[in-house]
Amino acid sequence: MGNQVLLACGTAAGPLFTIGYLVEGAGRVGYRPLRHPVSSLALSRAGWAQTLNFLIAGLLSLIFAVGLWREGPSHWGALLIGAWAVGLLGAGAFRTDPVSGYPPGTPDQLERHTRAGALHDLFSLIGFLALAVACFVFALSNSPGWTIYSIASGALFAATMALASAAFDQHQRWVDLGGLLQRISLTIGWTWQTLLAVRILYT
C-alpha cells in the first residue's frame, strides 16, 4: 500500500466518525446529544453501529500512524497517533457503562464500574492523552502558524475533554453540557488530525 494512501486515511477518520455519531444520535430515543457521551450510543439494540464507528476510526487512524512513521516527520508523533488509534479500538471493543441517565431508566452514575466499562474508560483516557500530546509534538515546525494552531488545539482538546469528564462524573455545573463539551473536544482533535494529514500529504 502506497504511503499516500496510508496518509489519506488520516483525512477520512475524523469526518466519518463525526458523521457516524451525529446520525446515530439524531435518531436515538431518549438520547440527548448535549448531555450524553458519544460512547453511550453503543448501549442499545442498535449499538453495534457506534461500536463499528469506533473500530473504523481506530483502524483508519492506525493506518495513518503507519504512514506517519514511514514519512518520518516525527516517529514519536507517529507512535502517539498510534496510541490514539489503539484507544479508539479499545473504546469500541469494550462498551461504556450507562451514565447521565442514558439509556432511559438507568441511574445518572453507577455505584461500581463493570469490567468492560472500566476498560472502555482506560482505553479512552490513553487515547485522549496521546492525541493531546501528539498536538504538541507535531507543533515543532518551521511554520509559526502551524505551531500556534497545534499548541492551541492540544490545550483546548485537553481542557474541553477534562470538562466533559467532570460532567459525566455528575459535576452539577457541567452535567447537562457533557455531550456538547465532548463533541467540541472531539471536533478539535479530529480537525487537527485531518489537517495534519493534509499538511503532510501536500507539503
Q: What does the block give as the cell for 43?
A: 448501549
Give helix 115-137 / helix 75-93 axis angle, nearest 10°. 160
DSSP helix/strand/coil, 93: helix
**Given this model, what pLDDT does residue 141 score?**
86
**Percent of the chain residues past pLDDT 90, beyond the cut:** 92
| Average pLDDT over the chain, rounded to an integer | 96
**Given this model, what pLDDT does residue 72 score?**
81
User: Would you list the domain boundaries of the chain?
Assistant: 3-202
**Rounded-to-integer distance, Cα 135 and Cα 150, Å:** 5
Average pLDDT, integer, range 73-82: 95
Higher per-residue pLDDT: 71 or 182 = 182
Over residues 96-151, the pLDDT tens digits come to 999 999 999 999 999 889 999 999 999 999 999 999 999 999 999 889 999 999 99
DSSP helix/strand/coil, 166: helix
**Given this model, what pLDDT does residue 20 score?**
97
Q: How many CA atoms lie within 13 A of 127 on its CB side?
A: 25
Prior bond of 107 cis (ω within 30°): no
Q: Which residues pair with 102 in a beta bridge?
A: 99
**Rounded-to-integer distance, Cα 135 and Cα 148, Å:** 10
Does pLDDT of 1 surpass 80?
A: no
**Rounded-to-integer distance, Cα 137 and Cα 139, Å:** 5
| Burial of 169: CB neighbours in 10 Å, binned 0-12, 13-18, 19+ | middle
